[in-house]
């Protein structure tokens, strides 16, 4: 994994590219990323990684004592709401402990992956949750959106594990790959990423360099 940033979705808007075409983008606030700890392969941790904190937690009573001590040990005056570790391939990729992390970490045109938590949909049936086609809608049929058979008598005599059935939908970790950074604005602390990102407005996302980056026209 490469070094990335933690951010918050601010919503969607549109900007115009060099050709004058409107491009739908999601605005992600990445200001306030702080390096909490740098781990080295030749140190006690035995691997290379960077631990990043995002979002100030003003009430210390909401932070556990061990985590609060961890923040103070590494010189963080304010507790952070979100803590994430980015593992790197080697010590040569490690930033300086006092390095500034902002939107300048990514450049316009760069391919990125965005990790987020999808919107919650509540309890849903199989048509919405799994995309089932449903039963016939006419000729007196009474089971329009029901799942149909989920087993077969004595054999196997049970419902198979992971059988697709109605249940809670959404609130799942999702990674959207190969998105394009349309604009990087370090002075405003935001990234403008082409297209939609998982989650609702105000949710936390992680932006990292694309693992399967493919050049897009």
- DSSP category for residue 159: P
Q: What is the pTM of this model?
A: 0.87
pLDDT at 180 > cutoff 60? yes
CA-to-CA dists, residue 217 to 173, 180, 210, angstroms: 29, 10, 16
**Percent of the chain whose predicted confidence (pLDDT) is above 70:** 97
pLDDT at 98 > cutoff 90? no
Secondary structure (DSSP) of 166-214: SEEE---EEEEEEEEEEEEETTTTEEEEES--SS-TT-EEEEEE-TT--
Return the pLDDT at 1. 66
Q: How many Å apart are CA 80 and CA 204, to the nearest integer?
A: 13
Helix, strand or coil, per DSSP, at residue 31: coil
pLDDT at 15 > cutoff 80? yes
Q: How many Å apart are CA 85 and CA 206, to the nearest integer?
A: 11
Q: How many Å apart are CA 22 and CA 1, to the nearest integer?
A: 32
What CATH number should be reported for the domain whose range is 5-119+179-209? 2.40.30.10
When the pLDDT of each residue in the chain is averaged and rounded to a whole number, the result is: 91
Taking residue 198's Cβ as centre, other Cβ atoms within 10 Å add up to 19
Return the pLDDT at 84. 94
Q: Cβ neighbours of residue 120 under 8 Å, at least 6 residues apart?
A: 168, 169, 170, 171
Token pair listed for 81: 């709401």
**65 — alpha (psi -120 to 50), left (phi > 0) or beta?**
alpha
Domain layout of the chain by residue ranges: 5-119+179-209, 121-169
């Amino acid at each position: 994994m490469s070094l990335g940033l933690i951010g918050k979705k601010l919503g969607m808007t549109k900007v115009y590219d060099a050709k004058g075409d409107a491009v739908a983008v999601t605005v992600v606030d990445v200001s306030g990323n702080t390096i909490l700890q740098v781990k080295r392969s030749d140190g006690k941790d035995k691997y290379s990684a960077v631990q990043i904190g995002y979002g100030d937690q003003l009430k210390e009573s909401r932070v556990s004592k061990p985590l609060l001590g961890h923040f103070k040990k590494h010189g963080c005056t304010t507790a952070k709401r979100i803590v994430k570790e980015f593992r790197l391939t080697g010590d040569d990729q490690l930033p300086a402990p006092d390095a500034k992390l902002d939107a300048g970490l990514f450049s316009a045109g760069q391919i990125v992956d965005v990790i987020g938590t999808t919107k919650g949909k509540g309890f849903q049936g199989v048509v919405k949750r799994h995309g089932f086609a449903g039963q016939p809608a006419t000729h007196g049929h009474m089971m329009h959106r029901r799942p149909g058979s989920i087993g077969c008598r004595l054999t196997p005599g049970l419902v198979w594990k992971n059988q697709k059935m109605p249940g809670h939908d959404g609130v799942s970790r999702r990674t959207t790959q190969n998105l394009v950074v349309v604009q990087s604005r370090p002075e405003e602390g935001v990234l403008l990423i082409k297209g939609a990102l998982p989650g609702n407005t105000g949710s936390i996302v992680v932006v990292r360099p694309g693992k399967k980056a493919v050049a897009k026209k």
